[in-house]
Amino acid sequence: MGMFCSIIRFENLYELKRLCHWGPIIALSVIAICSAMAIIDAVLWYWPLDTTGGSINFIMLINWTIMILYNYFNAMFVGPGYVPIGWKPENAQDSMYLQYCKICQSYKAPRSHHCRKCNRCVMKMDHHCPWINNCCGFQNHASFTLFLLLAPLGCIHAAFIFVMTMYTQLYNRVSFGWSSVKIDMSAARRDPRPIIPFELSAFAASLFALGLALGTTLAVGMLFVIQMKIILRNKTSIESWIEEKAKDRIQYYQTKEVFVFPYDLGSKWDNFKQVFTWSGNPDGDGLEWPIREGCHQYSLTIEQLKQKADKRVRSVRYQAIEDYNGAFCPVTKGVRTFCTTPCTEEPRIALHKGDHILATRGLN
């Protein structure tokens, strides 16, 4: 009962609209195709249920699907957790170390960042993931990482089923010689099974599912490795980028500062336990964090303020020379502009002729 409640623990029914996005549609379609084809191939042609091994294999396939979907929907609907509207530190003097979010009308708690897609300040934000159409952060980091682990493992099992199905069904029928292909139709008379023949359509479907399974294994497996690396250092993707920018800032201005990431507790096991717990709920409240010895509670936020000030200094002022309505694909601005539209879901900024903007980063 507790597992079911954790799945449906979203703020309101509006959260169901997260499913109406290309990311979840593609992700759930891949899961459905690989799971369904693996079960069909195993039951009909490779490992029927009338054997002990076939029954165990069937149960394992069902379990993979359930665990993958459970962690996927947890990551999507439970969400990352948001900084409360109007939040401010208990000690008013500490606000000088924090950034203020005008949209949320609150200070940004340590390790939190404002997500333009979610339109909220997200606690311990790692990134906004289009595949779950939600942010990965404080509350769902463990579920998201488990999904990244279970999806490749389930796909490896499914890929094994696809390969063995195609191999066993074609081995006695098709003999691949050096110069020709010989068809031996007597195999069907020697083996009364399967009742449903393994025809060209089944072969094509299995081959397609195999491609999806292998592609998912490689792509999602790489994401899992990346996530585990930053989890074992008790960081997020954004914090890793902030740390790199801190080194560049110190080197650029040749100061004698030494930036030490405050949340790396020094032990990989201690860092691991900050995300994965036996209860399934992360430790803490997402607003205050344990820090390593010798660091300040606001070491990271102070560095962010320094980087923000430095970004203003290095920014370049531009003036709009014509109107732009903020369209995602500007068809009226020429072929080159249309074809070089950035690959991002960030909204475009509508401009009027004569408007001034500050560009803080970009390519020449």
Distance of CA 154 to the CA centre of its chain: 17
Integer angstrom CA distances of residue 154 from 65, 216, 250, 295, 360: 7, 10, 45, 42, 43
Given the residues 129, 135, 136, 155, select the one marked as catalytic: 129
Alpha helix segments (H runs only) across the chain: 2-7, 22-41, 52-73, 141-171, 187-190, 200-231, 237-253, 268-273, 299-314, 335-339
Integer angstrom CA distances of residue 288 from 84, 108, 130, 227: 13, 12, 28, 22
How far apart, in whole angstroms, are the C-alpha atoms of residue 316 and residue 312?
A: 9
Distance of CA 263 to the CA centre of its chain: 22
Cβ atoms 112, 122 nearer than 8 A: yes
Active site residue 129: yes
Cβ atoms 186, 173 nearer than 8 A: no
Go through the chain and tell me how many residues it has: 364
How far apart, in whole angstroms, are the C-alpha atoms of residue 97 and residue 107?
A: 10
What token pair was written down for 50? Answer: 């009338």
Helix (H, G, I), strand (E, B) or coil at 159: helix
- Catalytic sites, residue numbers: 129
